[in-house]
Amino acid sequence: MSSTSRNVIPTEDEVRKAIIELKKGNPASGVAKIHSLLLHTNSSWTVSEKRVRKILQSEGLINSDPGTPNSTTNIIHPSFRLNKSLDVNKWTNRVEVKYFDAIKGKGLVAKENIAKGDVLWKEDPFILAPEWEIYDLQHLSEACSFCSSIIRDPSPLHISCEASTTATPCTARYCNRLCRLQAEKVHPLLCSARNPASVPLLTFARDAQWMALHALVQCTSRLLLASQQDAATFDLDWEVVQGLAELGMEERAQCLREQGLEPDRENWRRAFELYLQAFKEPRTPAEQKKLARVLKKPISEELQKFTFEYQAFLRGLGRMSLNLEAHGGLYRLHSHLNHSCTPNVSIRHLDQRTALSRITVIAKEDFEIGQELLITYTNPQSSLRDRRRRLSEWGFGPCRCKRCVTEEKVWKESDSNTQEADDLADQLKAGLGVL
């Protein structure tokens, strides 16, 4: 190919996407090799090696130390699968799932023009591991054990767990009959009367204030109970969990190690022991007999591997942490939303008296067809460095949203540590409406 045929200067987005794809397929390759591959696969492009290096560094895909310009770091990204059985129209006909690329994965985009302030959809959780203040109220029978709404005031509609007796009490209480019936998808294996082997596990999660563990417990209970129903019921739940973005705890530990943090593997092991005791191998014959009454049908080999192997358990913990909404719910559609430091949709809990765990998704700006819906995974009031550090803990590359790119430019031009840089960053936040 003659050099005269290279007459196309690609856009920044085109080059960035191509480089990320090449680096993913060739993780050990340095700048020169990626540059060569880029020109080979895009024969009409004119792209300098300097431009390739700059993009690789901005994405955190090489060591930016000038003393080792060609060294690489391990690339860790969350994995994902598409839930082919997900019917978005159950919630809204205004958005759709879109696959972006192998790194970014999937997301949600507008199917039509949307006005600022529009309610896009409402959604109840697949499972709920509520904030600990709510969890404690549930154990006091003062919050619904299904939807988490506060139920302190007496009402004839409130219903207690049907398995609770004086000898084997369960504190679960529900707003109404519908909540109690829906709770049967999760509660039986976490009921202190029907499966007392679950109590130490839940106590451990509460004492450690470990929301991801509590969420995994809820999710495991739902899958195991679904396996006792017909195949269609199980397949729907199975597809939801399989479709969640995933990064295991060991993989996350590699990200944290770069920040000088070490994983608490002793706690992981202890949690796994209690997890097995709750769902597979209770310690006493009496507890084993009670578990067998709930799980009467054999658990498939596939589900056992997905649930009861240690590495699968660690992946499950990571899966929960990646996908939980801030207040502890795991939502089928909400879990598709990607991150921006200037989110364009708001997640609200508006039905506080009747369905506290239900979320309402509201547009914060006008949308055009094809525009992506974005939430924030970090505290938007944090600094650029803190936001990027938080994202890096879960294998996300440096955020390239408009705000981050602008703040990065200010940071570099202002010597990063000066008061001037801090003042400019605050002005940018105010201008973007995040203060």
Q: What is the pLDDT of residue 131?
A: 96
Q: Rounded CA gap, 379 and 373, in Å?
A: 18
Per-residue pLDDT of 109-132, as tens digits, reads: 999 999 999 999 999 999 999 999
- State pLDDT tens for residues 31-89: 878 888 888 888 888 888 878 887 887 666 654 333 333 333 456 778 878 898 999 99
Are residue 400 and residue 307 in the same domain, yes or no?
Answer: no
pLDDT band at 259 (very low <50, low <70, confident <90, very high): low
Structural domain contains residue 370: no
Neighbours of 234 (CB within 10 A): 18
DSSP codes joined into one string, 154-191? --TT-EE-TT--SSS----EESSHHHHHHHTTTGGGG-
Read off the pTM.
0.78
Same domain membership, residue 283 and residue 187? yes
Task: Give the model confidence (pLDDT) of 277-295 as tens digits.
Answer: 999 999 999 999 999 999 9
Residue 145 located in a structural domain: yes
User: Of 299, 316, 333, which one is at a domain's C-terminal end?
Assistant: 316
Spatial distance between the Cα atoms of 301 and 298, rounded to a whole number of angstroms: 9
Q: Which domain holds residue 405?
A: 384-431
Does residue 156 sit in the same domain as residue 267?
A: yes
Last residue of a domain, one of 292, 316, 340: 316
Q: Domain for residue 206, yes or no?
A: yes
Residue 371 lies in a domain: no
| Residues 222 and 311 reside in one and the same domain | yes
Whether 117 maps to a domain, the answer reads: no
Residue 141 lies in a domain: yes
174 and 262 co-located in one domain: yes
152 and 240 housed in the same domain: yes
CA distance 343 to 334: 14
pLDDT tens for 359-388 read 999 999 999 999 999 999 988 888 888 898
- What domain count does the chain have? 3
